[in-house]
Structure 1
Amino acid sequence: MAPLAHERYCDEIVLLTETLRSVISGADLDANVPTCPEWTLRELAVHVGGAHRWAGEIVRTRATEELPEERVPAFTPDGEDPAVLDAWLADGAARTAGALREAGPGAEVWSWYRDRSAGFWGRRMAIETVVHLADAALAAKVPYAMSPDLAADTIDEWLEIVSFAQAEGDPEAAELRGEGRSLHLHATDVPDAEWLIEFGEDGFTWRRAHGRATVALRGPLTDLMLVFNRRLAPDSDRVELLGDAELLDFWLARSSFG
């Protein structure tokens, strides 16, 4: 599937950040984040806001090489006042969306991915916020929901990134091979939201398709996305796991970010 429109990603960076701000408002910012145990809720929010500002500055300056954090204006909030954090998150999201809109998706900029464009950063920052919003909701013990197209795009982008990591020689991703095995994701609440991942001798391929597989994961699309991003356990009663559960565990253990 093609990515969503660039303008949509720009909008979602702002809208999802508004939701993040709402989630953490009044919450215990020193609470541990279960899905990112090295972070508190405050540190998670600062990570998201810093990522926005970093990507926004890369696009704004049309950077041709990786940008050091110390060259990013207001990379972290000034102090620990929750009101300051809230304003900092809002301002960073708005500035980043503004830089992305001004640049347009085709502007050439540095990235760590094969796609070196502002369009890459728009999509990456929107989806970064999709996933970390789930982390924040879990930590704050509030409900989490995601629009179907964004949830599906999050799965698509993750498969693209893991495929890129394998091509670049990432040692964990390199193990995602093995002739004759396959993994099927099947959303039960959204038509045609299915993915078939097939392992071969040289790696894996994937496509949007229905098919028999070594292991299948069925459930609501948002929950499939959360399992695939290791935010929901695959044995959760919110999803149904059929077939070789060890293959899904094998995938999840070797498809990590960075």
Structure 2
Amino acid sequence: MLGLDEYLDGLRTAAARMIADATEPPRPDRSDYEDWDDNPPSEVTDWNAISPTAPEWSVRQVVAHQGMVHRWSTGVITGRIPMSAGPEVTDLIEAEGMNTPDPGGWLQRGAEALEWVLRGTDEDADLPFFLKNAGKPRDAWARRQAHETTIHWIDVYAARLGSAPDSSELDIPAAFAADGVDELLRGFLPRSKSGMRTARDVVVAVHATDTGDTWTMHFGANPPQVTTEATGDADSTWHGTAVQLYAGLWNRGDQITQDGLDVLSVWRERAAVAW
């Protein structure tokens, strides 16, 4: 895991980028605008535009969802909201985000409140949390929200671009991306609710070519098992830079290289994270 300051920096950066990409002009083909520098298009991103990387959501829905998660997390950390709170709580918060006249400002206020609460929480505070291999709860919450916000920033960015971004456009530190892969593979994937099951036992090796991080995933009829140990006996090997793996494994990109058995197509169908 990284440190608290690195997670809070990731949270702050992703929230700012989400707001910017939801409110700045969309990126057309520059050839369509011969006088771009003097007369850029004045319209902002359509809040109802559908994100190519989250096709069930519009930009407004992504922002409202993210702002809700920030507020829900803040409530859980402070004890004002039980972690088991159902849609009667979360839907109400999300509706506030959907109906606000200033979605960007609403998102910013929630992100700032969450950062403030995390900074003021003791490192060893006894907090509820829901993922495996998460470390101390305070830092686990900071980690979760940093990656949650970064992944949904990619959704808003993709809406602005009109397509999923190339990993080279994301400007995400490799160490941060590798940490997000680790949270996904060792935190989310082994949960009992994980849909990533296979008809026969399959071993997949994942390797980040720039950071050197390695994970080995064991799939079958039971919840997946994941270790950080290398294996020389994988049915399928996935590799790419840490950012390529980060975007690709969260199903926000398609730049993972696969050798051996095609398990990646199964991942695309079954490995969606259920919040």
**Same fold judged by TM-score > 0.5?**
yes
Query: Structure 1 residues 228 and 136 mapped into 2: Cα distance closer, same or farther (>3 Å)?
Result: same
Quick one: which amino acid aligns to residue 226 of structure 1? A
Matching of residues 48-127 of structure 1 within 5 Å: 48-61=66-79, 65-67=83-85, 76-77=96-97, 79-81=99-101, 84-113=102-131, 117-127=137-147
SS of 2:204 mapped into structure 1 = strand
Query: Structure 1 residues 211 and 133 mapped into 2: Cα distance closer, same or farther (>3 Å)?
Result: farther
Query: Structure 1 residues 86 and 64 mapped into 2: Cα distance closer, same or farther (>3 Å)?
Result: closer
User: What's the offset of the Cα at 1:71?
Assistant: 5.8
User: What's the offset of the Cα at 1:239?
Assistant: 3.7
- What does residue 184 of structure 1 align with? 205
Residues of 1 paired with 2:199 and 2:139: CA distance?
Answer: 30
CA contact (8 A) 1:35 1:135 kept: yes
- What does residue 271 of structure 2 align with? 255
Query: Structure 1 residues 104 and 176 mapped into 2: Cα distance closer, same or farther (>3 Å)?
Result: farther
Quick one: which amino acid aligns to residue 25 of structure 1? T
Query: Does 2:222 match 1:205?
Result: no
- What does residue 186 of structure 2 align with? 160
1:182-204 superposed Cα distances (whole Å, 9 cap, x missing partner):
2122233x131332223467543
Residues of 2 paired with 1:128 and 1:65: CA distance?
Answer: 16
CA contact (8 A) 2:83 2:128 kept: yes
Residues of 1 paired with 2:266 and 2:129: CA distance?
Answer: 29
Query: Does 2:164 match 1:147?
Result: no
CA RMSD of aligned residues (A): 2.8
User: What's the offset of the Cα at 1:154?
Assistant: 0.9
- What does residue 172 of structure 1 align with? 195
Q: 2:249 aligns with which of 216, 219, 228?
A: 228
Quick one: which amino acid aligns to residue 150 of structure 1? F
Query: Does 2:155 match 1:135?
Result: yes
Quick one: which amino acid aligns to residue 172 of structure 1? G
Residues of 1 paired with 2:174 and 2:119: CA distance?
Answer: 24
- What does residue 47 of structure 2 align with? 29
Residues of 2 paired with 1:162 and 1:46: CA distance?
Answer: 23
- Aligned residue pairs total 243
CA contact (8 A) 1:23 1:137 kept: yes
User: What's the offset of the Cα at 1:67?
Assistant: 3.7
Question: Which sections of structure 1, spanning at least 5 residues, go unmatched?
Answer: none
Residues of 1 paired with 2:221 and 2:56: CA distance?
Answer: 36
- What does residue 13 of structure 1 align with? 11
SS of 1:205 mapped into structure 2 = strand
Query: Structure 1 residues 193 and 171 mapped into 2: Cα distance closer, same or farther (>3 Å)?
Result: closer
User: What's the offset of the Cα at 1:65?
Assistant: 4.7
Quick one: which amino acid aligns to residue 212 of structure 2? D
User: What's the offset of the Cα at 1:255?
Assistant: 2.2
Query: Structure 1 residues 100 and 214 mapped into 2: Cα distance closer, same or farther (>3 Å)?
Result: same
- What does residue 47 of structure 1 align with? 65
User: What's the offset of the Cα at 1:78?
Assistant: 7.7
- What does residue 241 of structure 1 align with? 258
User: What's the offset of the Cα at 1:43?
Assistant: 0.9
CA contact (8 A) 1:194 1:210 kept: no
Q: Which segment drifts farther, 148-157 or 101-110?
A: 101-110
User: What's the offset of the Cα at 1:13?
Assistant: 1.4
Question: Which sections of structure 2, spanning at least 5 residues, go unmatched?
Answer: 25-44
Residues of 1 paired with 2:8 and 2:71: CA distance?
Answer: 13
User: What's the offset of the Cα at 1:99?
Assistant: 0.6
Quick one: which amino acid aligns to residue 5 of structure 1? G
CA contact (8 A) 2:75 2:82 kept: no
Quick one: which amino acid aligns to residue 4 of structure 1? L
Query: Structure 1 residues 110 and 204 mapped into 2: Cα distance closer, same or farther (>3 Å)?
Result: closer
